[in-house]
Structure formats: structure tokens, C-alpha cells
Structure 1
């Protein structure tokens, strides 16, 4: 497919438009069937892949990088995504376009979601290496992914990905219409956790709040890491392209990249213990009417969950499912 795309762009170059805003295009044929996707070239010689969409992008588009640009555009059939590159990057761009065409035509992925995820992945391959994820970030992410894999995915399937709000810096890590869950992970030997927001242990009216307490043991021979848990979640949702795209976008918010798999900074853990607690009137927290004094901007405090009753995991999975069904 890469060679075919290059041949098409070169044929378009011979008849490229003279007008500054004009564009010359040819429909992409896949397995001898003409598709609504088009390859194009503009007056300046830049290369384009145009794909009709059902509307404008609903998420921020990736920034331009080395001339690779993802934009909103128009075709005669309506709104489209416009993926563009300078002709100097023809071979790399053709391979990228081939991956996107296959995602849309073969796997049925939503064009904007697929384009955003694929472009981000390609950009990361050409950027300087990211700074490795810090140990505290890995501990927190391992906790959230463990809860995702053991509670939310079994209860809701791939729909759970869209309820994971930890990467979005919301108050709680999982948010459904009737149930919220905050995840706290620690390498301490006790269920003790730092609370960093005054409202972190409060839920909106008419919603339950649960807290998952995850105890991890750091070990060079540990069986869990961010990498293994990402692989586990991907295996569970791979049949849902929209969930895959959403998951990859959320991971990007943690500055995750596959380079971490080979990095000595990747931390490995054993799961020591895990409990889920109901955040109710018996749960250790600040008084419900507590307010920061004037001039005090933030507060951090540590809670101990020792001797508190905890919930059965299977019952929690049922509660998660019922909270979405109601």
C-alpha cells in the first residue's frame, strides 16, 4: 500500500492545481473496492489524506510536528479530517496513511479517534525520548490499572475505559452516574494514604463513593508493572476500537510511551494486599463542613484504614454494574 500511495501522489504532482486554495485528489481503492477516502495534493506540493467524518473532532488534535498536521477540512460530501505532510516525508507519510486507512476501512475505527491515536504514536517515534515516568506516577498508575482490570472491566466490559477519569485530573479516579471510586496505592506495609484535596473524600449528591486501597511491594522480580497492566487491559478491550483509542489517549496524559518497557526506570511490583472501603460517616476524613481558613490554599493529610470493615470484591463488581444499569 505504501508504494501505491507514493505512485498516486507522484501522478497528482504532474497535474497539481495552480490555485493556492485548490487541491487535486483521487479516491483510495482498497482490495479492488473504491472507498470514500482520498489521497490529495495541494498547490504547494504538500501531501494529504482526506477521510469523511460524521462531524468535527471532539478531542484536541495533536500538535504539528516536523510538518505533520492533522486538521478539520471539507469534502464534497461534508466534513472530513485532513492529514497532511510535506512531500519530503513521502515514504514515512505513506506508511502512516496506510495504517490509518486500514484502521478505518478494515477495523471500522472512528476516523477522528483513530487518526489522533495513530498520529500521536508516530510523533512519539520521532521525538526525542521522553523523560521516564517517575516512581510515584508509576505506583499511582499501577493502582488504577489494577482496579480497572479486576473490578471495572469485569463489571462493565470496555465501557469502563470511558469512566476512567484519573488521567483527566478529576476529583475521583472512576466516575459513573451513581458511583465514584478513588484509588490509592502505596508501598507502605499498612493501609495508610495521603489525601491531597479537601474534597477528595466527598461525592456529589446521590452518588456513592468507594475507596480502593492498594498495597504494593516493589521487587526486581515483581509480576506487575505499568507495562504488564497496559497489556492486560488492551487484551480485554481490543475488540472495541473506540475504547482502545480512548485508552491510548488517556495513557498519553501520563506521558507513557513504549520506551518505558525497555527502561531501567520501569518499576516492578508484587500485589501485597487490596481492599475496597465505603466512604461513609465511619470513614476517617475531615468534617463535612470543613473549609480552609482564609489565606490557606491547600492541605494534605494522612488517613489510616486499619480495622475498618471492607467490602467484598464480587459485591463491588455487582454494584458497579447496577450503578450503570439504573
Structure 2
């Protein structure tokens, strides 16, 4: 005989423990309207709430261990809210029981019921941090250049040149040129610079800033960051482990892929600008003579508008990466 919890709607935690440790899948109906049932599946490590689907979809992408999908079935349009247990059986059962209560006892729509229950139980689930919007754009831009380079000079040479995660180097390093990649979603070529060393040429090798402008689009005209990652990985071939290591160093995590839902496309062709004596780079060598006690300044961020600067070509095989057309849109 099964024990009910105090509210008589749900099984006791002792019974949930028994069902889970038995290892056998079981479906538990929860009395009420709309119909709800819990699919307890120890082998998969999940418990799934199944109920009628009413749009909009609940927003769960930012939460680890929770996923949602609409399902067509003979019973009509259904919603499946699956949660990975990962050692937190009681918490997961409590969360999904709360969703059912919000639906059946309070009559909340599905998306609202899920949001309310997650708020009540949010301490049980680590939120997905993901990359900031600036870092998402930055990684997309670097992968865009890497993708082009693979087609130009081959996957080995292109991936070896990509140094983005290494703070001591510029984003792409070649024997005759270094490239610092800057990406914006703005209508003008205004880019944020960070620190005193980002625009300092190294080892007497010329440095160019490659400016990329992206714009939002739809699935027919662009790619998400996740799709860009997948495309570069596919082209990397045997060099994929190098790509994966550098992606991880930049903060990429495959479990966060749903966070990056924006489709991006190039607003125009990338352009390169020489980082020379005329370029407004705020470096330690330039600032120290003018700023009192400069040694105690630890960080710096500033924005540069490149719209008045003339784009340059890149040497050799890299020339095709950028345009020298001065039109900005």
C-alpha cells in the first residue's frame, strides 16, 4: 500500500525513494484537470511531467537539468517537462508536483505554472550563466574568421593561428601579421577595447584590427552561435580537439547552447585597420607620461569609432578576409 503525502495529492517521499531505487519506469497520474502524470524513469535519470500543451512555451532554457518539448500525440498536443535528477530526487519530485498543483488547483496557464514552481524551487537548480552578450558576439566573430581561414589556408594552419583564449597573444597570429578581432551588432564600427596591452604589437610584427559588423536575422538568413560552433567543428576534422580546448577556454559550454537563440549574419564585409602610430590605442607607453601615478591604474575599457579611418588590405593569402570598400553599411 502506497503512502500519500500530507496533502493527499502526491506520494510520500518514502514511496518516491522506493520507486526510484527499484529501477523500473513507472507513470503516476495526478488527479485533477488538466490531466497530469509523472513519468519516473530511473534508467534515464529523469522525471517528466506530461500534461496538455497550451502556448506559450515555458521559458526554461536558462536552467540546468530542465528541458521542455511539445509533443503531438493521439491525446492531442502534449507538453513534456523533463528534469534530470542528478542526486536530487526529492527536489525534482517537489518541483514537478508544484507545477501540477499550479495547473490543477490554481488554474494557471502552463508557462506561468512552470515559472511559479521554478521560482519556488530555484535554489535546487544552478542557473546557466552562459556567455555575456558581448562575449557571445566576440566568439561568433572569431569563429567567423576561423571558418573563412579554414577554407583559405586549411584547417591545421587556421586553427593553429587562432590564439583568442591566450591572453598573451592576439586573436590570430601569423608570421607577417597579427589580427585582433572586434565584433559589434551596432550600425557603426564602434568597438570596445579592454586593457593596456590588447592593441600593442608583439615581437615587431604588424597588428591589424579586423572589424566585423553583425545584424540579427532569422533562421533562413543566419546562424546561431551554436550552429557556428558546430560548423567549425565539422570543418576542423582531426584538429577538432584543438578547437574544443580553445572554445572551453573562452567559456563555451555545450550545455548552454539553448541560451544562444539569436540568429546572426554579417551586416557587411569585415574590414581591417592598421594599428599603427595613428591608431587611437590607449597603451601604457602612451598613457604613463601623461597620467600621474599611472602605475596604480589596473584596468581600462574604452570605445573606438572606426568610421573615419580608411580600411586596409591584409597580406598574402589573408587578403580575401576583408574588404577595402570604405562604405560603412
**TM value normalised by structure 1:** 0.51
Shift in Å, 1:148 = 1.1
Cα distance in 2 for partners of 1:296, 1:129 equals 34
Deviations 1:292-315 (A, max 9, x none): 614221222211111322134685
Match of 2:266 among 260, 264, 271: 271
Deviations 1:208-227 (A, max 9, x none): 10111111112344512222
Q: 2:287 maps to what in 1?
A: 290
Cα distance in 2 for partners of 1:218, 1:318 equals 26
- 301-310 vs 276-285, which moves further: 276-285
SS in 2 for 1:289: helix
Shift in Å, 1:289 = 3.5
Contact 1:151 1:316 in 2 (8 A): no
Contact 1:155 1:318 in 2 (8 A): no
Shift in Å, 1:279 = 1.4
Deviations 1:154-196 (A, max 9, x none): 1353222122111233341112333211001111110011111
The change in CA–CA distance for 1:218 and 1:170 in structure 2 (over 3 A counts) is farther
The change in CA–CA distance for 1:218 and 1:194 in structure 2 (over 3 A counts) is same
Q: 2:223 maps to what in 1?
A: 224
Cα distance in 2 for partners of 1:200, 1:254 equals 16
- Kindly indicate whether residue 191 of structure 2 is the aligned counterpart of residue 190 of structure 1: no
Cα distance in 1 for partners of 2:184, 2:273 equals 15
User: Relative contact order (alpha carbons < 8 A, sep ≥ 6): 1 or 2 greater?
Assistant: 1
Match of 1:245 among 232, 241, 245: 241
Aligned pairs, how many?
Answer: 190
SS in 2 for 1:181: strand
Q: 1:309 maps to what in 2?
A: 310
Q: 1:234 maps to what in 2?
A: 233
Contact 2:190 2:306 in 1 (8 A): yes
SS in 2 for 1:216: strand
Unaligned runs of 5+ in 1: 1-126, 321-326
Contact 2:225 2:260 in 1 (8 A): no
Q: 1:46 maps to what in 2?
A: none
Cα distance in 1 for partners of 2:313, 2:202 equals 24
Which structure: larger Rg?
2
Contact 1:152 1:317 in 2 (8 A): no
SS in 1 for 2:287: coil
Deviations 1:26-74 (A, max 9, x none): xxxxxxxxxxxxxxxxxxxxxxxxxxxxxxxxxxxxxxxxxxxxxxxxx
Q: 1:254 maps to what in 2?
A: 250
SS in 2 for 1:259: helix
